[in-house]
């Protein structure tokens, strides 16, 4: 009898532990789950996803290391992570024509002869969605009635996300950071992003077209943690939708502020990179 009572007690305790309700964020005056604050992404050293969402950095390490002072160059880890959680192989599901196009894209990136061969980030341009979210600099979330506003330190970008049911802008309008429309599903902010131009990149090794559609899911899971997922769709370029995931942690340093990264006004990297034949040219005067 004691044995059965012990088993029942253990089962009750197990259920009570696993049935804990999810963390509930505080609310803004208009009832939104409150995500306000300054956040950093937690991709490996806050740079791995910037360079390759797939974790395939085999094409760029030599150029990347040359670009740095040998005394401060970041050592290569034994294995780079992938941030693609679907499909299971962690690879971008490009169609065959896009795979061939990608090889040309990477070759041009490594040995650029035109400005469009250079990373938009190096040229001081806005970065597109979702890449703007996996840049190393922090960003700030502001919430006002009917809107979520994202202020990015990277390239002085920002996004104003309406939470009503207004339609997207016309199909003929394309924007660097696209056109965002949001809604709350419980504690998750779901953002549909359309109307992006094809001048932004997914990472250093990957391109996209104007048909890209992104659905973001921002879920606060604790007072200092947001889980992020983004599903990318383009039937003209990808064989199927695919999804990336990573997280953000709250920046709690006292007095911390995001900076004005107005690099476009003094940008000189593009000229140096074209003259120097790639990333190494940035170190040449």
> For 180-238, what is each residue's pLDDT tens digit?
999 999 999 999 999 999 999 999 899 999 999 999 999 999 999 999 999 999 999 99
For residue 2, being part of any structural domain is answered with no
Query: Using an 8 Å Cβ cutoff, are 269 and 119 in contact?
Result: no
For residue 11, being part of any structural domain is answered with no
Query: Residue 67 sits in which domain range?
Result: 24-283
For residue 225, being part of any structural domain is answered with yes
pLDDT at 42: 85
Q: How far apart are CA 229 and CA 232, in angstroms?
A: 10
Residue 153 CB neighbour total at 10 angstroms: 18
Share of the chain above pLDDT 70, in %: 81
For the segment 23-41, the average pLDDT, to the nearest whole number, is 95
For residue 12, being part of any structural domain is answered with no
- What Cα–Cα distance (Å) separates residue 62 from each residue in 82, 177, 203? 20, 31, 17
Q: How far apart are CA 15 and CA 244, in angstroms?
A: 32
Number of domains in the chain: 1
Q: How far apart are CA 39 and CA 249, in angstroms?
A: 6
For residue 1, being part of any structural domain is answered with no
Q: How far apart are CA 215 and CA 242, in angstroms?
A: 10
For residue 247, being part of any structural domain is answered with yes
For residue 154, being part of any structural domain is answered with yes
pLDDT at 123: 87
For residue 10, being part of any structural domain is answered with no
Average the pLDDT over each of 44-48, 160-164, 191-195 and give the range with the smallest value. Answer: 44-48
* C-alpha neighbours within 13 Å on the C-beta side of residue 88: 0
pLDDT at 15: 44
């Amino acid at each position: 009898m004691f044995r059965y009572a012990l088993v029942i007690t253990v089962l009750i305790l197990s259920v009570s532990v696993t049935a804990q309700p999810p963390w509930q964020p505080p609310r803004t005056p208009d009832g939104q789950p409150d995500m306000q604050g300054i956040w950093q992404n937690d991709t490996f050293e806050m740079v791995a996803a910037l360079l390759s969402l797939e974790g395939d950095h085999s094409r760029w390490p030599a150029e990347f290391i040359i670009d740095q002072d040998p005394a401060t160059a970041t050592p290569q880890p034994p294995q780079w992570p992938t941030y693609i959680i679907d499909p299971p192989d962690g690879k971008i599901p490009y169609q065959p024509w896009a795979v061939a196009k990608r090889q040309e894209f990477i070759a041009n990136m490594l040995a650029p002869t035109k400005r469009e061969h250079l990373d938009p980030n190096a040229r001081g341009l806005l970065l597109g969605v979702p890449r703007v979210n996996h840049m190393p600099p922090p960003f700030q979330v502001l919430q006002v009635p009917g809107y979520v506003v994202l202020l990015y330190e990277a390239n002085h970008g920002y996004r104003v996300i309406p939470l009503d049911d207004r339609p997207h802008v016309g199909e003929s309008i394309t924007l660097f950071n696209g056109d965002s429309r949001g809604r709350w599903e419980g504690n998750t902010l779901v953002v549909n992003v359309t109307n992006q131009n094809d001048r932004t990149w997914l990472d250093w090794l990957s391109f996209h077209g104007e048909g890209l559609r992104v659905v973001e899911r921002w879920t606060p899971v604790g007072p200092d943690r947001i889980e992020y997922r983004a599903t990318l769709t383009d039937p003209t370029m990808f064989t199927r939708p695919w999804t990336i995931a990573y997280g953000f942690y709250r920046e709690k340093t006292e007095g911390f502020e995001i900076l004005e990264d107005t690099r476009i006004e003094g940008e000189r990297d593009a000229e140096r990179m074209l003259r120097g034949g790639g990333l190494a040219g940035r170190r040449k005067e």
